[in-house]
Amino acid sequence: MSRIIRTLAITTLCMISGTTFAQSSTGTITLSALRTGWNSDSFALVPVGAIINPANCSTPDGYVSAAPAPGYQTFLSTALTAFALDTSVAVTVHNTACISGRPVLIGINLMH
């Protein structure tokens, strides 16, 4: 019985740690541009400074989201608001995924 409990505990810890490290954050950044299109329902946030690229994507020139990804509409609305108000943001990027060779946006926070 204790072996089963130990196995379950180790499995749970592995699952939690895998989830914890599935993303990276940019810290607070300023946006220099929003790109849309490429003949698809997608957009990219382009920061003023360096772009983090934890997945080693081939074209790290912005953080991309594309429909129908979960959160896409929320990310787009938040990005448009931040850009229109010239407000800083903190972006969360997937550690292992790329879209069209670019780092994948999985979260965006408006900063004040």
- The per-residue pLDDT for 4 is 55
CA distance 21 to 75: 21
Mean pLDDT of 53-62: 97
- The per-residue pLDDT for 37 is 79
Those residues whose C-beta lies under 8 Å from the C-beta of residue 2, and which sit 6 or more positions away, are none
Residue tagged 């903190």 (tokens): 90
| Structural class in CATH, domain 23-110 | mainly beta
- The per-residue pLDDT for 19 is 46
Mean pLDDT of 16-45: 84
